[in-house]
Amino acid sequence: MMQQKLHVTLLTGRTIEQGVGKEYGKSSPEYYEACSMVYMDADDMQKLGVKNGTNVLVTTPNGSVVLKAVKYPRSAIPGLIYIPYGPWANSIVSNATTSIGMPSFKGTPAEVEAAPDQPVLSMKELLKKEFGR
């Protein structure tokens, strides 16, 4: 059954593409490709009517960001989404540190909805939007 919104658990973390991209430079196309995406469970994508490569809007209490949805290749991860580390992920991760200085980069609630018509921002555009510089 198609759903408009999906409640998921947000994980952020490393991918080798993100690792390679950052070494080319944060303004490089490699970095943009690697970090402005979100891994999703195949069935979850079906529920949202989202295909591989369709843009989705991910929202948390801390903000929203548009990302390219990519099917997680190795196993089912129902109810999880995985965004590589980077400014895109960080525009929505939780600030909650439980007083140890470490924000909650993994395991916080989020919502995903299809957003085929909204663009994925470049890093420059993203920084301008979030920080006005």
Partner 1 sequence: MSVINAVTCPICGCLCDDIEVTVVNNEVVKVKNGCAVCEAKYMGYKSEHRIRQPLIRKDGKLVPVSMNEAVHKAAEILANANYPILYGWSSTNCEAQRVGVELAEEVGGVLDNTAVVCHGPSLMGTQEVGIPTSTLGQIRHRADVIIYWGCDPWSAHPRHLERYTIFTEGRFEDSEWKSYLNKVKAAAGKKKLLSAQRAGLSKKAPATVAESVVFNKPPETLQKEGRKLIVIDVRKSMTAEMADYFIQVEPNKDYELMQALRALVKDEELDVDQVAGVPVEYLKEVVETLVNCKFGVIFFGMGLTQSAGKFRNIEVAISLTRDLNMRTKFLIMPMRGHFNVAGANIVFAWQSGYAFGVDFSLGYPRYNPGETTSMDVLLRGESDAALVIASDPGATFPKRAVQSLVKNPLIVIDPHMNATAMLGDVVFPSAFVGIEVEGTAYRMDNVPLPLKKVVEPPEGILSDEELLKKILEEVKSIKAQKTKQKAEGA
Which residues contact partner 1 (rule: CB under 8 A)? 9, 11-16, 19-21, 23-28, 30, 42, 62-63, 71-78, 80, 82, 85-87, 90-95, 97-107, 123-124, 127, 130-133
Lookup result for tokens 């920080």:
131
1 vs 98, beta carbon nearer partner 1 = 98
Q: Of the two residues 29 and 116, which places its CB atom closer to partner 1 in the complex?
A: 29
Q: For partner 1, which is the closer residue by CB, 15 or 118?
A: 15
Nearer to partner 1, 117 or 131 (CB): 131
* Dihedral sign, Cα of residue 36, residue 42, residue 47, residue 51: positive
As measured in angstroms, the least distance from the Cβ of 7 to partner 1 is 13
- Three-class SS of residue 62? coil
Least CB distance from residue 3 to partner 1, whole Å?
20
Shortest reach from residue 20's CB to partner 1, in Å = 4
Shortest reach from residue 97's CB to partner 1, in Å: 6
Q: Which residue has the tokens 């470490």?
A: 102
Using DSSP's 3-state secondary structure scheme, residue 116 falls into: coil
Tokens of 5: 């919104």
CB 93 within 8 A of CB 12: yes
Rounded to a whole number of angstroms, the minimum distance from the CB of residue 16 to partner 1 is 4
Q: Name which of 7 and 106 has its Cβ closer to partner 1.
A: 106
Q: Do 11 and 81 form a contact (C-beta atoms < 8 A)?
A: yes
Nearest of 108, 113, 105, 125 to residue 12 by alpha carbon: 105
